[in-house]
Amino acid sequence: MSNMENLESQLTEKERQARIYDQAVESIRAQQVRRSARGYAVISSAMNYGEGALGDGAFGRISQGAKMFCILFAMLVPSLLVWRVLL
């Protein structure tokens, strides 16, 4: 085996390693982009939910009704428990 053949195999191995390294770095970057996109989606949905729940549309009215139901239920439960348990 001549010195030239040995040098050629070393170059091809370095090229292969460089390609694998580039693929790994690109994979990591794509993963980071997906992770940050998920974060933006969560924040966007939370903000839109807040705007929709406070609006005058159907969802706003349903949300307001659900809040009132929960408040009234929390006010009535203690008195209902007193009647049931103590009386």
12 with 48, same domain: the answer is: yes
- Mean pLDDT of the chain, nearest integer: 87
| Domain of residue 79, residue span | 58-87
What total number of domains does the chain contain? Answer: 2
| DSSP character string of 28-54 | HHHHHHHHHHHHHHHHHHHHHHHHHHT
Q: What percent of the chain has pLDDT over 90?
A: 46
80 with 39, same domain: the answer is: no
For the entire predicted model, the pTM comes to 0.48
39 with 77, same domain: the answer is: no
30 with 7, same domain: the answer is: yes
45 with 70, same domain: the answer is: no
44 with 83, same domain: the answer is: no
75 with 50, same domain: the answer is: no
